[in-house]
Amino acid sequence: MAPLIGVLAVQGDVAEHIRALTLAGAEAVPVRRPEELAAVDGLVIPGGESTTIDRLLRIFDLAEPLRARLAEGMPVYGSCAGMILLSAEVLDGHPEQQSLAALDITTRRNAFGRQVDSFEVDLPFVGLDEPFHAVFIRAPWVERVGDGVEVLASIERDGEEHAVAVRQGNVLATSFHPEVTDDVRVHALFVELVRAAGSIGDPAVVEGHPSTTNRDN
C-alpha cells in the first residue's frame, strides 16, 4: 500500500509537493488540522517563509502536535523554509521564530545573499546516480552539522563547503526546491524513508482504514 504523506498546507508551494509525492509513489494530502496530521505516515514541510509558517503553525494549533509526532519519530522532509523550521538553531532568524529542533544543525537564513538570491545548479547528491538539478530560492545553508547528521549534498562558496542537503534518522532536509522540477528522485528517497519507517500514525486512525480518512480535501 502506498504510504500516506501529508504536506503542511499553511503556506508555501503545497500543490507542487503533492504532485511530486504522488509521482514518487505516495498518496499525498494537504495537512492543515491536527486530525489530519495524526493520520499521516510522514510529512513534508514546504518552502515559503519560515517566520510565517512558524507563526501559522501556532495559529492552526499544529505546533505542539507536530513536535509530538516528530518526537515519536515520524519521518519528515523539509525544503528550504522547511529545513529552517526543522533546525536546532537558526542564524539571521526572526527573534520570535521558534524551531521544531528535529535536526541537529545550525542553518543560516538567506545565506547565499540578496544579489544571487536565486540560482540553479547540477548538484551531486549522495544516493543518487546522477546530479540533481537543484533550484535555490532565497535559500539557507547549513553552518554546523551535529553528530549523526549525514551531509547528502553541499555547495562551495568562498573556499568553504556548506551543506545544502542533510539527513538525520527519519529527518530529511534540502535548502533547494525539488518540487519545482520534473525530477522526483528526492521525493522518492523520502517516500522510501517513510515506507521503511512503517506506519506510525495515530493507532485509532491507522486501525480505521487510513486510506479513507481525511482524504476529502
Ligand X SMILES: NC(=O)CC[C@H](N)C(=O)O
CA dist 214 and 211 (Å) reads: 8
Would you say 70 and 40 are in contact if contact means Cβ atoms under 8 Å apart?
Answer: no
25 is in an annotated binding site: no
Task: Spot the catalytic one: 16, 27, 36, 80.
Answer: 80
CB of 93 to ligand X, least distance (A): 8
Q: Can you say whether the dihedral through the CA atoms of 197, 31, 181, 82 is positive or negative?
A: negative
CA dist 36 and 162 (Å) reads: 35
Q: Residues touching ligand X: how many (CB under 6 A)?
A: 11
CA dist 17 and 34 (Å) reads: 20
CA dist 116 and 13 (Å) reads: 21
Residue 81 is a binding residue for ligand X (CB under 6 A): yes
Residue 190 half-sphere exposure, CB side, CA atoms within 13 Å? 36
* First-to-last C-alpha distance (Å) of the chain: 20
Residue 137 is a binding residue for ligand X (CB under 6 A): yes
Span from 44-52, 59-67, 154-162, 197-205 in contact with ligand X (CB under 6 A): 44-52
Site string for ligand X, 177-216 (x = CB under 6 A): ----------------------------------------
- Cβ distance to ligand X smaller for residue 49 or 89: 49
Q: What ranges make up the beta strands (E) of 81-199? A: 87-91, 103-108, 118-123, 132-137, 141-145, 150-157, 160-168, 171-174
49 is in an annotated binding site: yes
Span from 33-41, 46-54, 125-133, 199-207 in contact with ligand X (CB under 6 A): 46-54
CB of 205 to ligand X, least distance (A): 30
Span from 35-43, 69-77, 79-87, 179-187 in contact with ligand X (CB under 6 A): 79-87
- Return the active site residues: 80, 177, 179
Binding residues: 48-50, 109, 137-138
Binding residues for L-glutamine: 48-50, 109, 137-138
